[in-house]
Amino acid sequence: FHFHSSNLMVASGWEEMFSRRRSKSPSTRRRAQLNASTPGKMVVVEQQIEHGPSTIFECLSTGIASQPTELHRKPQPIHHGPPQRPLTDLTLASLYAIFLPDGYPHSVSDDYLPYQIFDTLQAFCSTITGILAQRAMLTGMGVGNEAAKVAAALWQTTVRRNIGKVARIAFTTLKGTDMDANCKTWRLVADVLNDLALAVELLSPLVCVATSDCNSQWPYFTIVCFAEICRAVVGVAGGASRAALTQHFSLRDNFGDVNAKDGSQEMFVEILGSGIGMLLSDLVVETNQGPKWALFLLFAALHIIFNVLACRSVCLLTFNRQRAHIVVEQWLRRSKVLPPPAAARIESVLHFGGSGVPGT
């Protein structure tokens, strides 16, 4: 384990790299001598590689000679245009450039790929549940209801969003210092609260009278404000924990690139998930709540499972209270320093023990 805030390249590392590169350029020359005892044959005594492929020589004359035979470079065939590459290689290279950080896999940590696989799957499930909840929210806001008023919908939306902003500021003040140390925990908490907010939004049209405007009814307004508060916590906890994990994955001061490519992956998955979610929502009859809730609970459960697997796949290299306790306990019991992968398998993804800083 070690503490690190950034990845720095020291001058000695650069000097060592360049010295290795210089050592790979031999200074010998390729020469040919005619063997006096064996007419017409050459004996290669040394070889030279001049900053590229090996230089190829051939003998222009035969017979006995006392002087070295004239040598020249063998002519190479001329290729016009760029080198041809298979279509599969071009496709893979394009996908790498779009969705993976530059220099992958050497520019990210070893746990980057398993985490991104599970993170992609959970984002897909979350998009489908979001489509189902959004349809219910639109119904509650008065889409298709003649009694609904635009002014009431605007009032309800404005007040609800302001309540969410206040909740966001309050949660950041209370728990902002704990996001880095326990990023796995808060990542999982954010996704659980996100599913809770979606479930409340899916339930919201059932608490208002269908013959009147839902936006002017206090039961409907109360539960959608609760969903907005949950979503505010999701925004803070999810964004902060994602930033902490991205910093862990970045090995070459490429935080921005890793974060941007993660956004590209998420957007692509959301496009696919929204299309499938629209198809599923069209198959569900609005008056029949059973199939709608069955679909929601199925994808919400998959969403939580994939999030747990994603958090379990991350091997953090810094201490928090839980990891420090695990390592010290193993040292006292077995006189053995536990490596980070072993500690990652033992630690719980739900830990609210603080960051180890007094007062947190």
Least confident span in 11-20, 131-140, 233-242: 11-20
pLDDT of residue 87: 60
Closest among 197, 195, 219 to 140, alpha carbons compared: 219
d(CA 338, CA 344): 10
How far is C-alpha 134 from the chain's CA centre?
Answer: 26
Q: Which tens digit of pLDDT belongs to each residue from 305-319?
A: 999 999 999 999 988
Residue with tokens 């979503």: 231
Instruction: Give whole-number Cα distances, 235 to 61, 74, 258, in Å.
Output: 80, 66, 20
pLDDT of residue 314: 94
Q: Which tens digit of pLDDT belongs to each residue from 254-282?
A: 999 999 999 999 999 999 999 999 988 88
Closest among 59, 55, 104, 107 to 76, alpha carbons compared: 55
Q: Which tens digit of pLDDT belongs to each residue from 73-123?
A: 455 555 555 556 666 767 778 888 899 999 998 999 999 999 999 999 999
Task: Tell me the mean pLDDT in the region 53-74.
Answer: 42
d(CA 196, CA 175): 20
Q: End-to-end CA distance of the chain, in Å?
A: 22
pLDDT of residue 152: 79
**Would the pTM of this model clear 0.75, i.e. be above it?**
no
pLDDT of residue 8: 33
Q: Report the percent of the chain where pLDDT is more than 70.
A: 69
Using pLDDT thresholds of 50, 70 and 90, give the confidence band for residue 144. Answer: low
d(CA 197, CA 200): 5
Task: Tell me the mean pLDDT in the region 189-214.
Answer: 84
Instruction: Give whole-number Cα distances, 281 to 6, 134, 136, 204, 290, in Å.
Output: 46, 10, 10, 17, 13
pLDDT of residue 94: 84
Closest among 166, 153, 287, 292 to 221, alpha carbons compared: 153
Work out the mean pLDDT of the chain and round it to a whole number. 77
Task: Tell me the mean pLDDT in the region 300-304.
Answer: 96
With b for 16 or more beta-carbon neighbours within 10 A and e for fewer, the 64-77 pattern comes to eeeeebebeeeeee
Cβ burial, residue 87 (10 Å; 0-12/13-18/19+): exposed
Which one of 13-22, 136-145, 217-226 scores highest in mean pLDDT? 217-226
